[in-house]
Every structure is written in structure tokens, then in C-alpha cells.
Amino acid sequence: MSHHEYRFTAGPWNIHSGADPFGPPVRQEIPFADKIKRLHEIGYHGVQFHDDDIVEAEADWTTAERTAREVKKLLEEHGLVAEFVAPRLWEDPRTIDGAVTSNDPDCRRYALDRSKRCLDLARVIGTNKIVLWPAREGTYLREAKDAKLAVERMTEYINALLDHDPECLILGEMKPNEPMDQAYFPTVGHFIGLAYRTKDPDRVGALIESAHAILAGLDPSDEMGYALAHGKLWGVHLNDQNGLKFDEDKSFGSVDLRRAFNQVRILDENEYGTNGEMVGFDVKALRTQKDEVCYRHLENSRRTFLRLLEVVRSVDAGRLERLRAERDYEALDQYILDKLMGIE
């Protein structure tokens, strides 16, 4: 097994002032340039963006291009790169009932135009990856939209993006619910099925978020295994989630260390990262956190990943194989628990 290095990323939204649906901000807003500097200082290599993290969605293209160049320069000053750009298709009034799967053709046109612009922005900032989190591509009630048509519309939309930029890579980030009651593409399997229906399946892959898999009642490392088997795991959003609640975006490993261990294990066994993939953390600071320690969740997630990596790499592969062959899964269970407790 290779012992390659990992490159870590996070988005500017992962450093935030703590407002939630029930209360106002509790920390100072931090200027973008300060976030970038600090991410570098705490061992991060790249930044993930929404299109409007770079420049307002309404800005004309000349302004947008200039601003994206400035942001790229800022990244370069700190030795950072942009990992991907994601069109934020869930805040505009035109996407209230979905962007790609809206019943209204004008709304679908808006979503497509904005996504094409996102591809252009991605190129200026130095990446060919865009991430699609289909936030409102679902329903609150079954009769509101046509579930079969939704798949056709998503396929057409992706085809149009593939045409727009022949070099782009499209990464779907699936989540089963929130803000919608039911999403049309709740898991990575749904999206990969759709990827094969597009005109260039080799350029359509996935980003897997731990919390989203858990919300679907699935194990994140198994979801990663599925995408890896298709050669389509091009991004991750590692975090943690305490059961079926709102999307908590807890620090990686905070709830279930063994579940985190298995994510690191499958990534490392498959040499994730050797093809330019990065380890993204989509984590949120607890609202109780004070200003001076508002990067702790990012520092901790990285630290936990690297510590678990040591544990993963210390697993005795021969012993594991023997226990598998003997089908002594009780002994295997305890071996892993002892590893996690630092006994073995």
C-alpha cells in the first residue's frame, strides 16, 4: 500500500458566525482573506467555493472574471488552490421549487445559465471541477412534480454542462432530505446511475459527504466503496452526524470514531488522493464556540483524520486476512476496538 500524503480543503462557509434558523450570529464575521490565511496556517492546502463565495451571482461577467482572478491570486499568495466551485442554486427566488427540476421553464433556464457561468468561474479560479448539491431537486409532497421527468431533466441539464465545457468534471453530492422532504437523487447510487445516462459518463462522478450518507441510513465508507468501484470518487466532505436529525456537520469522528476510521481506511486502501483528489471537511463550529477558537473544528477534523490514518496503517493486514478466513468476526471486532482504544 502506498503511503501518500493527503491534501485538505474546506469552504469559506465552514468558518462562520454561528447564526442558525433559531438565532442570530454569535461570533464576528471573518473577512475572506483572513480565512484563507488561517486555513493555510492550520495545514489546509485548498479551498472549496460556491459561485457566490467568489463574486455575487448578479455581477456582470467582466466584474466576475476580474474578481475571480483576484481571489485566485490571494489563494496563490498562501500556496493554496481552488478544489471546486458549486453553483448555489437554492437561495434565489427562482429556485424555490427546485432549479433543475422546477416545473417552470424560466426557472430551469436560470439554473442552467447560472451553472454555465459557474463552470466559467471555475476555470478562471483554476479548477475544472464543479459540485452539484441538488438541494431543492425533490418535493414536499409527491403530487407536486413528476419523478420520472425529474431524472430526464437532470440528465439534460448535465449534458448541457458537459457541452458547455468539454474539459469539466461534474461531481454530484447527494443528500436524501433537507431542505426537501424527499430528494429525487438521495444517494450516490442514484446519481451514478444517472451519470451513465449522460453523454460523457467519464466526466460525471461523485463527492460523498459522511453526514448525508448517515442521513440516508447508510454507512459513509460503504457509499465511498460504491463510488470507488465505479472510479467515480472525486471528492469527499468528511464530517459526522448524530443519527437522523438536521444536517449537523459535526467535526470528523466526533460521534462515531469507528465509522470515521472506516472512511479513512477505505480511502487509504484505494489510494484516494493520488489522482489529485482532496480531503474536504464540510464541518461547522458548534454555536457555543467563542471567536478566538472558531477554527477548532477544522483543526480537530484534520488531526483526527491524520491520527486515524496512523491507526489504519498500523492494522496488521495478515491478521485481518486470517480472521476473515476463519470467519472469527468477534475477534476481528475486538482487534479493531483495541486499535481504536490504543491498546493494540
In the bound state with Mn ion, the residue whose beta carbon lies nearer, of 211 and 336, is 211
In the bound state with Mn ion, the residue whose beta carbon lies nearer, of 241 and 335, is 241
Number of H helices, E strands in the chain: 12, 10
**Quick check: 8 and 41 in contact, CB under 8 A?**
no
> Is residue 49 close enough to count as binding ligand XUL by CB under 6 A?
no
List Cβ<8 Å contacts ≥24 apart for 33-41.
Answer: 33/74, 36/74, 36/75, 36/78, 36/80, 37/78, 38/295, 39/10, 39/15, 39/78, 39/80, 39/298, 40/78, 40/79, 40/80
Task: Report 113-132 residues binding ligand XUL (CB under 6 A).
Answer: 131
> Is residue 83 close enough to count as binding Mn ion by CB under 5 A?
no
Measured at the alpha carbon of residue 12, what is the angle toward residues 7 and 13, in degrees to the nearest 5?
115
Asked, as a colleague might, if the bond just before 21 is cis with ω within 30 of 0, I would say no
Task: Report 239-298 residues binding Mn ion (CB under 5 A).
Answer: 282
Instruction: Catalytic residue, from 50, 212, 237, 297: name it.
Output: 50
Total residues contacting ligand XUL (rule CB under 6 A)? 10
Whether residue 50 lies in the annotated active site: yes
Contact with ligand XUL (CB under 6 A): which of 120, 209, 248, 268?
209
Closest CB 69 distance from Mn ion, rounded Å = 26
- Could you tell me which residues are beta bridge partners of residue 131? 171
Whether residue 53 lies in the annotated active site: yes
For cell 451553472, name the residue: 115
Contact with ligand XUL (CB under 6 A): which of 27, 72, 114, 237?
237
In the bound state with ligand XUL, the residue whose beta carbon lies nearer, of 131 and 336, is 131
| Contacts with ligand XUL, residue ranges (CB under 6 A) | 50, 86, 131, 133, 173, 175, 209, 237, 247, 282
Residues annotated catalytic, as ranges? 50, 53
